[in-house]
Structure formats: structure tokens, C-alpha cells
């Protein structure tokens, strides 16, 4: 008995709504030594969170541990009664949730929730617990550690909540802490602070940890060993440097390859022949939400005097952190949110601010693809109907001609034709995003606005979508405005990149030059904050404190 | 933060007052378009035109309706509800006793049914999917589907006629013992509870189930919290808004909507008074009763709103 955690032949099965039983974890084995941090990595549906939760003896509704053993400090969590498990939870094994914003009870003060574990397990008197919490707040470099506990969850930022949730887990001095994608919902500049705080606290306390993530670069910074999972099975286990430098399993290699997609070969040829005609031009466009004030500016200005030119056949990337106005910009260009001031030119001609005042042809030539295919596709319509509607609307296609065009569209996005009779819910996430794209292509557009279309997808699937976008551009001569918070994705497809900060475009530069020393300080901060596969990156990273103070949301 | 709260609460109260004003206008207007002339009705067929005209001017019936509306509204505001057309008694006096009995019945029903309904709703949410939950759900649906006159009549038949445990009428006789009081109230309270509990149980269950499905409840479970702690500390405070609204809506029914129960048990409440007033064309009485119903309704809904605001730190 040398390891803190020994998982042997773990099997978890889920019961579907139809009553069918499906194995979601198919015999997993691994160990965690005292003080060691092990990362579970894999795409969505690989079972990484399910495995992590079994360490607490917990499974989500509809799932159950079907076999095997999960020994934590000598006790088999699978064999314990529910009552014995509740005694272990929080005191010996603690959990840091994926979305701290959702995991904090909105009706309770933060302090009450952070020290709740000590109350439940009767670990120490209230005053001692509060003192310890304040100490943890300080260790996690939270602002005003003395008073932050008296606030309610909605009164602090997302990055702060994520660190507070770590304090909540560490308060009971557990032997093992489970981090469930704790930085996935954060912006990169915030993620660094949180990762650093986690790392230093874990190092000091010598606790063991399980770090669940889909992001290899993040995991590389914090984990000692990595377990690569796919479809509920272990693909490869190795130390962090082994996995990163000498991956053995093909799937691990695929993951690593997807992380650094091939850069874009600039579409110079196309651009030069047609350079005189910008497909899209924005002149000092402002837009926002709320009632316009006396001078016509909206109450909350989300886009502030943004100008750019996009030539035919070229792609513009727009990057920035959440709340910088990049999605509002896409909606403004599409005419969903009319600009408060400024002018949009499409193909050299000014277009009406509001989509309803634009001609059908203008609407047809400018299409938008939304982030979440789940909500953008009507769940009650078959794929055929979803693709058929723009064909009938823009091109008046009916009957056999329409069917033939639907088949071609499915071919274009590399989906089997047989899928057209299915409903969106019967497709995978990547397939839905392809249908979402095909729907925009149905209009036969000149320009497609892609609003974070790969954000909800797994790395490997997202890389495939990017490849598809490139193919389509080659075949159909499209232009893209590609909006994303992920620099790698943007660099993979765009010729130029515009960086947005608080509604303003701070700079625009060729994709290859992004991250170079030149340029706006905010862009430099943003680029330097993107995690790299190098395990020493976080420790070596030195950020200009003035830059951080000026731009990073803490 | 606090001024924000005050303005929020003040806004709610203003809206309630405005609603009350609009309702008074509608109530007054509706009674004005009832067919028939009050003076003629009061004086009977043999009245001379002079007598009718005299009575009309004495009752201000010839004034424009809008003027009479404000006379009436002014009277309401100063506590003068007017005089009954039917028997010339002050309306305040007519309503007084009836309102008291109605409130007694409502209070007894609320005390009986609200705790039971909340307990059933919360426990069935905690034990969701179990036999107990299904039994409670089925029972509530059954109860909703059975009309109250059926419950009341069956109650009278079983407990008063066959078993002879309870009196079939609930006229507030001189009550000299607590046991007597319970015997008088048992059947009306029981019947009314049947009617109003179902909605409260269903809403409570739905609100708690929703709160139990949130990530913060999962988090509490992973902290090792017991089921009771999870429900009391994490789920209930966040489900309070919908629950108090359901309770307020159900309770508001207890004043205006109990005419069937009051008739069957011959209980001297205010709903019965209003129906009697309609048959005697006693307009001031009808108006006053309608205003009381509306007032109580608004009072309950506004209270529920305020509790919901106070229980939500984001609004507070």
C-alpha cells in the first residue's frame, strides 16, 4: 500500500432515458502517489470527469459504479455506504468545480460557503475556520482577503470565484483535491493568475491532486503525470514530459497535433487580383445595448468606433477576452444589432443598419454562423428542412433541384447524405456545427461571420472544422470574419488579426506577427498569456506587472 | 445598495396602489352597466315618477358617473363604505362580521394546509422518483380533478350523515369549547385545504426539484452535506420566490372563491354576502365586497413579491 489512490478496473455504467445500459467507463486503472498531481485529459465524453467524481464515491444522476475498486487512503469508495462516503467528501477528498459561478449558492455569503466543510464535518470552531479561510484567500492572492468573504457570489469576478472555490476545497485539509476543468471558463489573462495560485498552494501543502482538463498546455503546467483518456478507456499514462515529448499512442499524437494547427498559407494570389474591392468595410462603427443617451450613444457601449477593411478572399480574425465586444461586432455587421453610429460597406456599397431594411440579396451574401449549434438549429426540424429553408428562401429552389443542392451541401461539409433525415439531437457536436455551416453556405454567400464556432468543440474536432473552412474557401472563394478568444485557432485560418479590448480595436496586424514584441501592450499581454506545451512555461513566465494591472481582469 | 432595495420595494407598493385604483374604476364601471334603475327597484312598481325622481336626486344618481365614482372612492378612502340599498344599514356594519368569519376560516385553512403542502412538496422533491413521490403526485392530481362541491358533499354525507361525527352546518353558534370549534371548522377547512393544497404542493415540488438540480447543490453534496442540510441551506432559500408566490395565489382564493363551500356548509362568510347582494341588486355592497377581495389579493401577491425580493441577494 504505497499509493494514496489506487483505481483498479473501474467500470461505470449509465442508464439512458430509454432504459438501455451503456458502459461509459470500461475498466480503468491508475494510481496517485502522495503529493502527486495527476491530470486526466481527453475530449468531452471521454469520461474524465466521471472518473474524477468516483474518487468522491459520487456519480451523476443515471450513472452508477458497476465494478472495480477505487481505494482512497486504503478505503474502497465503491464499497462504502452513502453515509460513510459523505464523511469522506470534503474532509479527505475535496472538489473544485468547473464553473465556480454556478457552484456557489447565490443566496449565501461566500464565507459561509467556504467554511461549510468545517461546519459539516465539525473540524474546528467557526472563528478558527474563518481565520483559516482568510489565510487561504491571501495564499490564493485574492484581493481584500479580510472582507471578500462577506460578499455574495455575484459581487465578485469569475476568476476570483474560481480561486474562492479552491479555498472552499482546501479548508478541510484534504488528502486529495479534484480540479474539474477549473480554468476552462476563464479568459487567458485570468487563467494564469488562477493556475499560479493553484500551483503554489498545492506545492506548499503537498496535497495530491487530480486535474481534469481537455487542454494539454494547461495540464503541462501543473501535472506530474498525465492519463490520456478516450471513450472511457485509458490510452496512455506517462509523466508530463514523456507525454509531451514522446507520445506513444496515436490518439495522444492527434491531440498534440491538434494543439498546433498548421498556419495559414496566405491567400496572396486571390487577394492581389481583386485587391481593389474590399468585401467588407467598417467606418467608425459603434454599437451597444440599452437606451441611447442624448448624443445617440447607447447606455452600455459594447463596440466603440471600430474600423477595418476586409478584402475579397482574405480572412480577418477578431480576438479578445469575454466582454470585449467581439460578438456584438459580428451581430452589428449582420444587422441584428443596428450600429448607433458609423457606416458598414458591403462590397463597396453602404448597407442599411438594420437587417430588416437590407435587400434579400445583401442578406444572402452575408451570412453568420453562431457559436452554439445546439441552440442555433431548430431541434424539431430534420437536417433536410434546416438546409432546405434558406435554399427556398434565397434561391426559390423546390423539389428535385432542392434535394440535389442539399446533397451537395452535405458533401461540401463532409457529412454523409444519409444524415439529412435526422434531427439535430441525433448528431454529434462536430456534425451539428457542420450543419450550422452548411446552412450558411446554402445562401451562397460572399462573406461568412464565424462567431466562436469552434469554442464548444473538442480540440481534434475543432481542428477538423478549421480544415473544412479552409477547403471551402479554396473551392468557393469565400471570405471569413473569424471571431474567437483562442489565438491558435485564429492564427490557423486568418490573414490578419484584430485585437479588441473593451469595445475598441486596439490594433490590427498580420497573423504571423501576432505575439511579436512590437504592437499594443494589451496584445502583448494577451499573447504572452496563452499557455504553451512547455511544462516550464508558467514558472518562467514573467509578465510586466504594470501591464497586468492595466489590462487583466482579476 | 439599500436605496436600490427601497426603490424596488417602493415601486412594488406603488404598482399595487395603482392596480387597486384601476380595479376600483372597473368595479364601479361594471356595476353601473348592470341593467335596471336602482330607484325604481327600491320603490317598487307602484311608485310615482315624482317619488322616483326625488329618490334619484337624494342618492346622487343623476350626477355624472365620473363624479359618483370619486364620491365613492373618497368614501372608501375615509372608511365610509356607504349604505346598503337593500336594508339601509351601513355597509361597514354588514360586512364587518362576515369578513371576520371569512378571515377566521381562511386563517384556519392556511394554518392547516400551508405547512402540510410545503412538507409534502419538499419531501416529494427530495425523494423524487420514489414510490412516495409518485403517490403524492398522483394524489395531488386526483385532488385537483375533483370539484370542491363534490368533496364537500361527500364530506357531509360521510361525516355528518353516516358517521354523525361532525355537524353538517357551520353556523358560528356559541362556541364554548375548543373541541366544538374544531368540530365546526373541520369540514370546511378540510374541503378548502383540498382545493388549495394541490397547487402549492406542485409548485413547491417543482421549485425544489429545480434547485436540487443546480451545480451548487451538487457542490454541497460533494462537500459531504447531509440531505437535510442540502435542502434547508442550499435548495430552499433559492426556491423561496416561486414557493411564496404559489402560496399567495392559493391563499387569495380563500376569501373570494369560497362561495361553494360557504353555501354548502351554510357558513356566514363574505363570499356568500356578495352573492346575496347580487340577487338584491345592492350595488354599494357588491362594490365593497369586490374591493375587499381585490385588496386582499393584492396584499398577498405584493407580500409574496417582497419576500421574493428580500430572499434574493442579487436584488437586495
pLDDT at A271: 45
Q: A128 with A226, same domain?
A: yes
Select the residue of A53, A102, A121 nearest B224 (Cβ to Cβ).
A121
pLDDT at B132: 94
Select from A187, A263, A182 the least CA-distant residue to A223.
A182
CA distance B304 to B298: 10
Nearest Cα residue in chain A from B227: A86
Q: What angle, rounded to 10 degrees, do the helices at A399-412 and A429-442 form?
A: 130
Q: A67 with A175, same domain?
A: yes
- Interchain pair B223, A117: CB under 8 A: yes
Q: In this structure, is residue B43 part of a structural domain? A: no
pLDDT at A552: 61
Contact yes or no for A37/A208 (Cβ under 8 A): yes
> How close is the nearest chain B Cα to the Cα of A155, in Å?
9
CA distance B221 to A203: 27
Nearest Cα residue in chain A from B1: A155
pTM for the predicted model, two decimal places: 0.77
Number of domains composing chain A: 2
Burial of A534 (0-12, 13-18, 19+ CB in 10 A): middle
Contact yes or no for A318/A481 (Cβ under 8 A): yes
Q: In this structure, is residue B76 part of a structural domain? A: no
pLDDT at B269: 84
Average pLDDT over chain B, rounded to an integer: 84
Range of the domain at A81: 5-259
Size of interface A-B (CB pairs under 8 A): 72
Which residues of chain B neighbour A102 with C-beta distances below 8 Å? 214-216
Select from A473, A411, A474 the least CA-distant residue to A448.
A473
Q: Between A273 and B180, where is the model more confident?
A: B180
> How close is the nearest chain A Cα to the Cα of B211, in Å?
10
Q: In this structure, is residue A117 part of a structural domain? A: yes
Select the residue of A56, A88, A105 nearest B216 (Cβ to Cβ).
A105
In chain A, which residues have pLDDT < 70? 1-2, 260-276, 515-518, 549-550, 552-554
pLDDT at A269: 43
pLDDT at A375: 85
Which residues of chain A neighbour B237 with C-beta distances below 8 Å? 105, 107-108
Please list, in sequence order, all residues whose beta carbon lies within 8 angstroms of the beta carbon of residue A414, skipping any fewer than 6 positions away: A434, A468
- Interchain pair B223, A88: CB under 8 A: no
Q: In this structure, is residue A322 part of a structural domain? A: yes
Give the start-end residues of each E strand in A168-264. 176-180, 208-213, 225-230, 233-239
- Interchain pair B219, A103: CB under 8 A: yes
Select from A205, A278, A266, A213 the least CA-distant residue to A243.
A213
Which residues of chain B neighbour A152 with C-beta distances below 8 Å? 313-314
Q: A155 with A275, same domain?
A: no
Q: Which residues pair with A447 in a beta bridge?
A: A366, A479
Q: In this structure, is residue A250 part of a structural domain? A: yes
- Interchain pair A107, B218: CB under 8 A: no
CATH of the domain at A513: 3.40.50.300
CB neighbour burial string for B212-246, b if at least 16 within 10 angstroms, e if fewer:
bebbbbbbbbbbbbeeebbbebbbbbbbbbbbbbb
CATH of the domain at B141: 1.10.3720.10
- Domain-terminating residue out of A259, A282, A305: A259
Q: A300 with A361, same domain?
A: yes
- Residue B174 pLDDT more than 70? no
- Interchain pair B215, A56: CB under 8 A: no
- Residue B143 pLDDT more than 70? yes
Query: H/E element holding B211?
Result: helix B178-212
Q: Is B234 on the interface with A (CB under 8 A)?
A: yes
Instruction: Return the residue in B130, B211, B216, B223 with the most chain A beta carbons within 10 A, the one to mutate for interface testing.
Output: B223
The DSSP result for A386-453, as a single string, is HHHHHHHHHH---HHHHHHHHHHHHHHTT--GGGGGS-GGGS-HHHHHHHHHHHHHHT--SEEEEEST
Q: In this structure, is residue B21 part of a structural domain? A: yes
Q: Is A120 on the interface with B (CB under 8 A)?
A: yes
Which residues of chain A neighbour B312 with C-beta distances below 8 Å? 106-107
pLDDT at A275: 54
Q: Which of residues 130-149 of A touch B (CB under 8 A)?
A: none
- Domain-terminating residue out of A207, A231, A259: A259
Q: In this structure, is residue B67 part of a structural domain? A: no
CA distances from A6 to A28, B72, B92 (A): 10, 82, 80
CA distance A515 to B240: 51
Q: In this structure, is residue A551 part of a structural domain? A: no
pLDDT tens readout for residues B10-51: 888 999 899 989 998 898 888 777 766 667 767 777 778 888
Q: A197 with A326, same domain?
A: no
Q: A255 with A277, same domain?
A: no
- Residue B62 pLDDT more than 80? no
- Residue B230 pLDDT more than 90? yes
Q: In this structure, is residue B235 part of a structural domain? A: yes
Select from A271, A231, A267, A284 the least CA-distant residue to A42.
A231
- Interchain pair B216, A91: CB under 8 A: no
CB atoms within 10 A of CB B20: 17
Q: A124 with A51, same domain?
A: yes
Which residues of chain B neighbour A116 with C-beta distances below 8 Å? 220, 223, 225
Q: A147 with A75, same domain?
A: yes
Number of domains composing chain B: 1
Q: In this structure, is residue B44 part of a structural domain? A: no
CA distance A449 to A456: 17
Q: A254 with A360, same domain?
A: no
Q: A314 with A237, same domain?
A: no
- Interchain pair B313, A168: CB under 8 A: no
Select from A76, A62, A61, A73 the least CA-distant residue to A10.
A76
Q: Is A56 on the interface with B (CB under 8 A)?
A: yes
pLDDT at B173: 58
Q: Is B1 on the interface with A (CB under 8 A)?
A: no
Q: A338 with A481, same domain?
A: yes
Instruction: Return the residue in B128, B224, B227 with the most chain A beta carbons within 10 A, the one to mutate for interface testing.
Output: B224
Q: In this structure, is residue B195 part of a structural domain? A: yes
Which residues of chain B neighbour A104 with C-beta distances below 8 Å? 216, 219
- The distance of Cα B22 from the centroid of its chain, to the nearest Å, equals 19
- Interchain pair B222, A102: CB under 8 A: no
Range of the domain at B89: 2-35+81-311
- Interchain pair A106, B313: CB under 8 A: yes
- Interchain pair B216, A88: CB under 8 A: no
Nearest Cα residue in chain B from A105: B216
Q: Is B313 on the interface with A (CB under 8 A)?
A: yes
Q: What is the mean pLDDT of residues B141-150?
A: 85
pLDDT at A554: 46
Q: A494 with A415, same domain?
A: yes
- Domain-terminating residue out of A224, A259, A294: A259
Q: In this structure, is residue A540 part of a structural domain? A: no
- Interchain pair B234, A120: CB under 8 A: no
pLDDT at A289: 82
> How close is the nearest chain B Cα to the Cα of A269, in Å?
52
Q: In this structure, is residue B201 part of a structural domain? A: yes
Q: Which residues pair with A211 in a beta bridge?
A: A39, A179
Instruction: Return the residue in A102, A105, A106, A172 with the most chain B beta carbons within 10 A, the one to mutate for interface testing.
Output: A105
> How close is the nearest chain B Cα to the Cα of A340, in Å?
29
Q: What is the mean pLDDT of residues B243-268?
A: 84
Select the residue of A60, A91, A105 nearest B224 (Cβ to Cβ).
A91
Angle CA(B232)–CA(B234)–CA(B236) in degrees, nearest 5? 55
Q: In this structure, is residue A537 part of a structural domain? A: no
> How close is the nearest chain A Cα to the Cα of B126, in Å?
14
Which residues of chain B neighbour A81 with C-beta distances below 8 Å? none
Amino acid at each position: 500500500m504505497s499509493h494514496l489512490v489506487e483505481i483498479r478496473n473501474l467500470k461505470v455504467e449509465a442508464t439512458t432515458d430509454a432504459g438501455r445500459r451503456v458502459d461509459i467507463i470500461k475498466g480503468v486503472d491508475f494510481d496517485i502517489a502522495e503529493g502527486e498531481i495527476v491530470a486526466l485529459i481527453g475530449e468531452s465524453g471521454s469520461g474524465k470527469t466521471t472518473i474524477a467524481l468516483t474518487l468522491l464515491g459520487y456519480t451523476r444522476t443515471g450513472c452508477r459504479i458497476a465494478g472495480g475498486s477505487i481505494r482512497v487512503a486504503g478505503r474502497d469508495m465503491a464499497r462504502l455506504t452513502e453515509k460513510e462516503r459523505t464523511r469522506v467528501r470534503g474532509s479527505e477528498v475535496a472538489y473544485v468545480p468547473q464553473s465556480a459561478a454556478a457552484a456557489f449558492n447565490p443566496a449565501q455569503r461566500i464565507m459561509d460557503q467556504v467554511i461549510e466543510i468545517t461546519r459539516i464535518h465539525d473540524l474546528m470552531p467557526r472563528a478558527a475556520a474563518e481565520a483559516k479561510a482568510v489565510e487561504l484567500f491571501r495564499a490564493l492572492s485574492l484581493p481584500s482577503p479580510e472582507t471578500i468573504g462577506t460578499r455574495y457570489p455575484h459581487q465578485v469576478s469569475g476568476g476570483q470565484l474560481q480561486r474562492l472555490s479552491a479555498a472552499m476545497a482546501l479548508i478541510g485539509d484534504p488528502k486529495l483535491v479534484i480540479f474539474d476543468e477549473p480554468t476552462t471558463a476563464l479568459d487567458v489573462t485570468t487563467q494564469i493568475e488562477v493556475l499560479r495560485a493553484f500551483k503554489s498552494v498545492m506545492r506548499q501543502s503537498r496535497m495530491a491532486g487530480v486535474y481534469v482538463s481537455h487542454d494539454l498546455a494547461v495540464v503541462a503546467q501543473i501535472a506530474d503525470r498525465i492519463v490520456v483518456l478516450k471513450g472511457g478507456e485509458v490510452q496512455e499514462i506517462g509523466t508530463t514530459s514523456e507525454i509531451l515529448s514522446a507520445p506513444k499512442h496515436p490518439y495522444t499524437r492527434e491531440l498534440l497535433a491538434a494543439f498546433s494547427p498548421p498556419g495559414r498559407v496566405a491567400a496572396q494570389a486571390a487577394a492581389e487580383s481583386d485587391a481593389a474591392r474590399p468585401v467588407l468595410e467598417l467606418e467608425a462603427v459603434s454599437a451597444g445595448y440599452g437606451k441611447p443617451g442624448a448624443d445617440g450613444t447607447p447606455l452600455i457601449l459594447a463596440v466603440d468606433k471600430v474600423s477595418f477593411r476586409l478584402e475579397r478572399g482574405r480572412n480577418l480574425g477578431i480576438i479578445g477576452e469575454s466582454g470585449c465586444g467581439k460578438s456584438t461586432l459580428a451581430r452589428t455587421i449582420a444587422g441584428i444589432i443596428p450600429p448607433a453610429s458609423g457606416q458598414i460597406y458591403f462590397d463597396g456599397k453602404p448597407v442599411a443598419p438594420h437587417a430588416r431594411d437590407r435587400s434579400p440579396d445583401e442578406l444572402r451574401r452575408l451570412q453568420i454562423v453562431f457559436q452554439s449549434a445546439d441552440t442555433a438549429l431548430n431541434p424539431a426540424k430534420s437536417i433536410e428542412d434546416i438546409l432546405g429553408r434558406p435554399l427556398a428562401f434565397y434561391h426559390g429552389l423546390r423539389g428535385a433541384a432542392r434535394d440535389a443542392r442539399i446533397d451537395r451541401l452535405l458533401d461540401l461539409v463532409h457529412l454523409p447524405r444519409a444524415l439529412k433525415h435526422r434531427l439535430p439531437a441525433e448528431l454529434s457536436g462536430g456534425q451539428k456545427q457542420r450543419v450550422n455551416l452548411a446552412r450558411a453556405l446554402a445562401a451562397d454567400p460572399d462573406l461568412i461571420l464565424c462567431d466562436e464556432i469552434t469554442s464548444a468543440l473538442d480540440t481534434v474536432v475543432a481542428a477538423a472544422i478549421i480544415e473544412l473552412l479552409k477547403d471551402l474557401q479554396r473551392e468557393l472563394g469565400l471570405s471569413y470574419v473569424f471571431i474567437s478568444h483562442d489565438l491558435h485557432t485564429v492564427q490557423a485560418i486568418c490573414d490578419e488579426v484584430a485585437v479588441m479590448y473593451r469595445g475598441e480595436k486596439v490594433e490590427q496586424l498580420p497573423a504571423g506577427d501576432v505575439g511579436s514584441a512590437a504592437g499594443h501592450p494589451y496584445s502583448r499581454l494577451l499573447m504572452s498569456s496563452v499557455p504553451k506545451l512547455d511544462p516550464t512555461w508558467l514558472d518562467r513566465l514573467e509578465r510586466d506587472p504594470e501591464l497586468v494591472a492595466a489590462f487583466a481582469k482579476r | 445598495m439599500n436605496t436600490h432595495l427601497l426603490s424596488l420595494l417602493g415601486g412594488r407598493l406603488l404598482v399595487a396602489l395603482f392596480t387597486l385604483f384601476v380595479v376600483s374604476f372597473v368595479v364601479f364601471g361594471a356595476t353601473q352597466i348592470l341593467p335596471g334603475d336602482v330607484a325604481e327597484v327600491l320603490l317598487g312598481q307602484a311608485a310615482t315618477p315624482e317619488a322616483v325622481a326625488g329618490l334619484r336626486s337624494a342618492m346622487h344618481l343623476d350626477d355624472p358617473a365620473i363624479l359618483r365614482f370619486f364620491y365613492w372612492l373618497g368614501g372608501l378612502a375615509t372608511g365610509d363604505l356607504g349604505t346598503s340599498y337593500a336594508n339601509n344599514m351601513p355597509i361597514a356594519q354588514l360586512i364587518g362580521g362576515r369578513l371576520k368569519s371569512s378571515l377566521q376560516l381562511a386563517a384556519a385553512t392556511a394554518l392547516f394546509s400551508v405547512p402540510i403542502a410545503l412538507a409534502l412538496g419538499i419531501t416529494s422533491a427530495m425523494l423524487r422518483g420514489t414510490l412516495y413521490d409518485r403517490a403524492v403526485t398522483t394524489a395531488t392530481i386526483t385532488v385537483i380533478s375533483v370539484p370542491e362541491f363534490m368533496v364537500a358533499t361527500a364530506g357531509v354525507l360521510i361525516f355528518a350523515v353516516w358517521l354523525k361525527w361532525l355537524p353538517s352546518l357551520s353556523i358560528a353558534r356559541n362556541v364554548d369549547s375548543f373541541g366544538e370549534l374544531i368540530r365546526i371548522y373541520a369540514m370546511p377547512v378540510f374541503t378548502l385545504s383540498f382545493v388549495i393544497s394541490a397547487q402549492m404542493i406542485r409548485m413547491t415540488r417543482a421549485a425544489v426539484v429545480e434547485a436540487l438540480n443546480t451545480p451548487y447543490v451538487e457542490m454541497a453534496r460533494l462537500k459531504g452535506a447531509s440531505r437535510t442540510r442540502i435542502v434547508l441551506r442550499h435548495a430552499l432559500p433559492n426556491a423561496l420566490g416561486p414557493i411564496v408566490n404559489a402560496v399567495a395565489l392559493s391563499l387569495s382564493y380563500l376569501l373570494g372563491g369560497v362561495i361553494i363551500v360557504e353555501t354548502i356548509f351554510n357558513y356566514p362568510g363574505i363570499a356568500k354576502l356578495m352573492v346575496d347582494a347580487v340577487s338584491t341588486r345592492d350595488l354599494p355592497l357588491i362594490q365593497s365586497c369586490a374591493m375587499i377581495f381585490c385588496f386582499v389579493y393584492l396584499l398577498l401577491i405584493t407580500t409574496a413579491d417582497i419576500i421574493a425580493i428580500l430572499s434574493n441577494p442579487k436584488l437586495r
